[in-house]
Amino acid sequence: MRALVQRVTEARVDVAGETVGHTGPGLMILVCAMQGDTEAEAEKLATKVARLRIFNDAAGKMNRSLLDTGGAALVISQFTLAADTRSGNRPGFSTAASPEDGKRLYLHFAKALAALGPKVETGRFGAEMAVSLTNDGPVTIWLDI
């Protein structure tokens, strides 16, 4: 599985003008299931994200995790993270999981993250979404599991 994690002061996702998910301070996580991924990878990624030390401690060093800060997360499905741009100008997405597997693993990731403690909200799988956020830092981390 693949994720793009952004430390945010706030984030929200709208579908057809309606806010379907939002968070205050914490993380906005774009998630992509790849072909061959399983629930085990989704759980491993959730644990990695929850424990990733990218929040500042009292000394201003990135030494605290989402679990340490009590922050929340907004999780959004993003199959375009599977883009292959090595040749030509049009990205290929053949390494992304099928829509059925992608949805199942995306929801499993969100559930696994929530089970670790943070409040988790999600976007709507397969919908045309408008995402807005205020990146804090900015801090953006790419993860592959």
Residues labelled catalytic: 78-80
**Amino acid identity at 37:** D
Closest CA to 11 of 21, 139, 1: 21
| SS3 (DSSP) at 128 | coil
Q: CB of 105 within 8 A of CB of 39?
A: yes
Q: In this structure, what DSSP letter does residue 145 have?
A: -
Q: CB of 11 within 8 A of CB of 28?
A: yes
Instruction: Determine which helix (DSSP H) or strand (DSSP E) holds 102, and give its type and residue range.
Output: helix 99-115
